[in-house]
Amino acid sequence: MQFIVKGHNIEVTDALRKHAEEKISKITRHFSQVMKIEVEFDVEKNPSIHDNQKVGVTIFTKGPFIKASNSSKDMYVSIDKVVDKLERQIEKYKGKTYRSNSKYTSLKEVLREQEISAEQKESNAEHTEPEIVKIKQFSIKPMSPEEAVMQMDLIGHSFFVFRNAITEETNVVYKRNDDNYGLIEPSYNVKK
């Protein structure tokens, strides 16, 4: 298992690295198939931010990956709090059960209708000129939409890009305002 530590605006000391490694390894030893753990320490230089000591942890497994971060005034406290978050996410993952593919096919029609409604709302929104401020790259693993929803919940994001194991297409699941989920699938019907 790889344990990678990165620092931004901070020199990562051996004591800080050791503390993070001990705390995180305690919770991951009961979680099988951990391939890599990335820990990122960040100190925010803005004096108006009180909780400027941030720790972000990503645990890569053969299945889902689990991600959590926390900020406080002390880096060691941030490590302890992020470990608590990771423990809750691991327990949540272990308690999840996958829905069968037969339920997925019945949900498919409902999700498509919700997607059309969401697209109509988006087209009515006022357009401004946003800019790209961050670029991320990640590997896209084949999985079912239900697994993608679980993965999205585990990392705490509002959307998740994945390769659908059934259709072999790139899909997106997203959290809707009504606490349901949406699925975006590519359509190749080109009008001429």
- Choice between 86 and 133, residue whose per-residue pLDDT is larger: 86
Specify the pLDDT at position 1: 72
pTM score: 0.54
- What is the chain written as a DSSP string? -EEEEEEESS---HHHHHHHHHHHHHHHTTSTTEEEEEEEEEE---TT-S--EEEEEEEEESS-EEEEEEEESSHHHHHHHHHHHHHHHHHHHHH--PPPHHHHHHHHHHHHHHHHHHHHHHHHSPP-----------PPPEE-HHHHHHHHHHHT-SEEEEEETTT-SEEEEEE-TTS-EEEE--------
Specify the pLDDT at position 41: 92
Q: Which domains does the chain have, with CATH numbers?
A: 2-95 (3.30.160.100), 101-125+135-184 (3.30.505.50)
Specify the pLDDT at position 98: 39
Of the ranges 77-81, 98-102, 149-153, the best mean pLDDT one: 77-81
